[in-house]
Amino acid sequence: MEPQETIAFTDWLAKIDPRVMYEEGAREVWHHALKNTNVRAARAAAMEHFRLYPTAPKPSEIATRARQLVASYTAKQRALTATPAKPSDQIPLRRRDPQRWQALLEAGKQQRETTLKERTT
């Protein structure tokens, strides 16, 4: 958020709730807290704060809630635009090469029989 946007935001906030201080020092605090936030997210966070809490909004609360709202929105958009999971394209050896499968099966049987004969003798 640019300093001019922060001034407009604090003026808007003070019109909604007169408990919000908007003199020069307070505006610097608000700007420092909201410098990495866009105006729409900050306004949405403020409206949500007024809807949920009877207290005056604090810069840190609005900044945190704005970040949460942006993260939630981007996660929803990612989920909506995500490509569906690809089905596994690995075909089992039994279907891919049945002759080799049968040869390996026979070799395994032979090896097992040999092992059992060696144990009994």
Which letter does DSSP use for residue 22 in this model?
-
pTM score above 0.85: no
pLDDT digits (tens, 9 = 90+) for 34-63: 999 999 999 999 999 999 999 999 999 999
For residues 60 and 98, state if they share a domain: no
Domain shared by 74 and 103, yes or no:
no
What is the spatial distance between Cα 70 and Cα 44, in angstroms, rounded to a whole number? 10
Q: Per residue in 73-111, pLDDT tens? A: 999 998 888 777 776 667 888 888 899 999 999 999 999
Q: Could you give the dihedral angle defined by the CA atoms of residues 34, 6, 30 and 3, in that order, rounded to the nearest 10 degrees?
A: 90
What is the DSSP track for 38-87? -HHHHHHHHHHHHHH-SSPP-HHHHHHHHHHHHHHHHHHHHHHHPPPPPP
Q: Which domain holds residue 113?
A: 93-121
Do 69 and 97 lie in one domain? The reply is no
45 and 20, same structural domain? yes
